[in-house]
Amino acid sequence: MLVRLVPTPRGPDLHWHLASAPEQSMQRAHDTIEWPERFSRKRPPRQVLVDLGEQGSLAFDDATAWHQAYEAAGGRISIAGRMQTRWTVFATVLVATVVLLTAFYRWGTPWAATQIARHVPLSWERQLSQRALADIDRFLLKPSTLPAARQEALRQGFASLARQLTPELQRYAGYAPPLELHFRRGMGANAFALPGGTVVLTDGLVEAAAKAKLADEAIVGVLAHEIGHVVHRHTTRMLVEQGVLNVGLGLALGDVSWAFANASSLLTALAYRRSHETEADCFASRLMRRAGLPTQPMGQLLMQIDPDAPAAAEFISSHPATPERARKLAEGGNACEP
């Protein structure tokens, strides 16, 4: 049998015929053939096989001559094929992949999450928050034992902050969720924000302020910080970011449904980035000044809370703040400064 490799723009085609019957020539296009994998020239196989599908296969005993003819006819070895036989190619591709994945995780996904969050409906955020808060109530929190009058006083302070929100303070144009303050007992001295305007304040934080003999401005400052998380949609951005990563993994593994089905459970496991906390501090400083309230009590309150105290869970808003941030606020500094 005589075999020829015929160069074409897309790669070599294969022509063959019996030496005794050249008029019965057969051919196959390049993209219809399963070509042999690349091999190491130092360790060539005994034989290479060209798979022709339903027409069978062709076997060549001289593997080196075969690949020389293939490359001479314009055949190109894929990156995957080169990775199998050259460790330098494999190492280069591996390093490039790690760099690209790291860059995508560090900068790509936050940027994508910020853009996608613009299009997330407020109604979806609020439904998600309701489910998440119900889950938290079921396992971690209990009804508040603060007197109704005390709750009302704090609600008034929270409402006064909400009235100070103006378009220049909004991170997303037109995004103005109704802000709601909820009281709970549990999780120590803490406060956290859920998407769509829900802010939860624990009795422990109110008790910590009373123990330190701090005025309500301290608690209101923490609430301003939480409003900052809401306005900047930090939780939604983190959820979308995690979803982007999960979808990418799911596409690789063939299953993306769980990333959406378990959104409320995922929500309670997220932790804000340091940049988000700084952004919320900056927002709180601006909002408190607009309301004519000092930021020092807020910083003093955060410094009173033991940062090493065990938490019931790592929630989306983790308090207390780092000592540096708390100190800056306690000294009346601008939280927007590095």
User: What pLDDT, in 10s, does the model give residues 281-296?
Assistant: 889 989 998 999 988 8
* Structural domain range at position 225: 121-330
The terminus-to-terminus CA distance of the chain in angstroms comes to 77
Q: Do strands 48-51 and 57-60 pair parallel, antiparallel, or not at all (unpaired)?
A: antiparallel
Q: Which segment of 144-148, 251-255, 272-276 scores lowest on mean pLDDT?
A: 251-255
Q: Are residues 78 and 139 in the same domain?
A: no
- Does residue 154 share a domain with residue 205? yes
Give the pair of three-digit tokens for residue 337.
């400064």
333's CB contacts (< 8 A; 6+ apart) are none
pLDDT higher than threshold 60 for residue 197: yes
Beta carbons within 10 angstroms of residue 44's beta carbon: 15
- As for how many domains the chain has, the answer is 2
Residue 168, pLDDT > 70, answer yes
Residues 66 and 136 in one domain: no
β-strand pairing of 180-185 with 48-51 = unpaired
Question: What stretch of H or E contains 255?
Answer: none
Helices (DSSP H) in 106-195: which residue ranges?
109-117, 122-139, 148-163
Last residue of a domain, one of 51, 82, 113: 82
Six token digits for residue 60 = 């060549």
What average pLDDT does this structure show over 309-338? 53
For residue 152, name the pLDDT band (cuts at 50, 70, 90): very high
Q: State mean pLDDT over 58-77.
A: 72
Residues 51 and 180 in one domain: no
**Residues 50 and 194 placed together within one structural domain of the fold:** no
What is the residue-averaged pLDDT of the chain?
75
